[in-house]
């Protein structure tokens, strides 16, 4: 697998809204020959994001995997050690044909998942992506300890805007690109560093 990174010195700071995103710029350049890609948004519903993505999608799917993480029923507490019920979270995904998605926006979902759920969630999303499909996510740097409740929205195709900065501490340690790489059956990982403490990570299947 290939892991590459680029640094976006010109900004790409999603805390100062709206800011150009080099990851998104790369994404849309990559998808420029796809007139109507199938797109999945796994984040909290933002009307601005919806408007942008609807204009660019052939079919747009959404199922929020981030907001339900607050639900207490996602944890089975009948056992000695609470067990995360990944199947309940994945039930929030809409019905999507396997290998049909060109682009998936999962925002900072991976930073919020318990480690034991990461592989299953990534695998499920990976199954839904077509070959060459791209997963766009934001991963925090280890130095960023707060922002679990952050929310972003698109301000045009190439700009990210913080809809909410987020002040809640992260529940789990920061993920490295190597960990993401290891969890994926196939694909390459491309990373854009920003000054905000968030990496823009694109996984190409």
Binding site for other proteins (CB under 8 A): 26, 29-36, 38, 45-47, 50-51, 54, 57-64, 92, 94-96, 100, 102, 130, 132-133, 204
Tell me the sheet residues that pair with 140. Answer: 198
* Least distance (Å) between residue 139 CB and other proteins: 22
- Residues 27, 188: Cα–Cα separation, whole Å: 14
Nearer of residues 30 and 75 to other proteins, judged by Cβ = 30
Nearer of residues 132 and 156 to other proteins, judged by Cβ = 132
Nearer of residues 111 and 151 to other proteins, judged by Cβ = 151
- DSSP secondary structure string, 97-166? -TT-EEEEEEETHHHHS-HHHHHHHHHHHHHHEEEEEEEEEEEE-TT--B-TT-EEEESSTTEEEEEE--
Task: Identify the DSSP state of 134.
Answer: E
- Residues 176, 118: Cα–Cα separation, whole Å: 13
* Least distance (Å) between residue 2 CB and other proteins: 11
* Least distance (Å) between residue 41 CB and other proteins: 10
Helix, strand, coil share (%) of the chain residues, nearest 5: 25, 30, 45
Nearer of residues 152 and 170 to other proteins, judged by Cβ = 152
* Least distance (Å) between residue 52 CB and other proteins: 13
Nearer of residues 96 and 137 to other proteins, judged by Cβ = 96
* Least distance (Å) between residue 122 CB and other proteins: 20
């Amino acid at each position: 697998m290939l892991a590459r990174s680029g640094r976006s010195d010109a900004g790409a700071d999603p805390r100062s809204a709206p800011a150009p995103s080099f990851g998104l710029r790369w994404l849309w350049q990559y998808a420029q020959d796809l007139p109507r890609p199938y797109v999945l948004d796994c984040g909290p519903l933002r009307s601005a994001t919806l408007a942008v993505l609807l204009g660019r999608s052939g079919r747009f799917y959404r199922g929020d995997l981030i907001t339900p993480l607050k639900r207490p029923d996602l944890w089975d507490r009948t056992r000695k050690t609470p067990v995360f019920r990944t199947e309940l979270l994945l039930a929030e995904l809409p019905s999507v044909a396997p290998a049909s998605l060109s682009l998936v926006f999962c925002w900072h979902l991976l930073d919020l998942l318990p480690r034991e759920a990461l592989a299953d969630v990534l695998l499920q999303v990976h199954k839904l992506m077509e070959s060459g499909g791209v997963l766009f996510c934001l991963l925090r740097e280890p130095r960023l300890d707060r922002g679990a409740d952050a929310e972003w929205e698109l301000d045009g195709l190439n700009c990210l805007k913080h809809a909410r900065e987020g002040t809640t501490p992260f529940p789990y340690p920061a993920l490295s690109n190597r960990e993401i790489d290891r969890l994926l059956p196939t694909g390459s990982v491309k990373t854009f560093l920003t000054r905000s403490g968030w990496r823009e990570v694109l996984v190409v299947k």
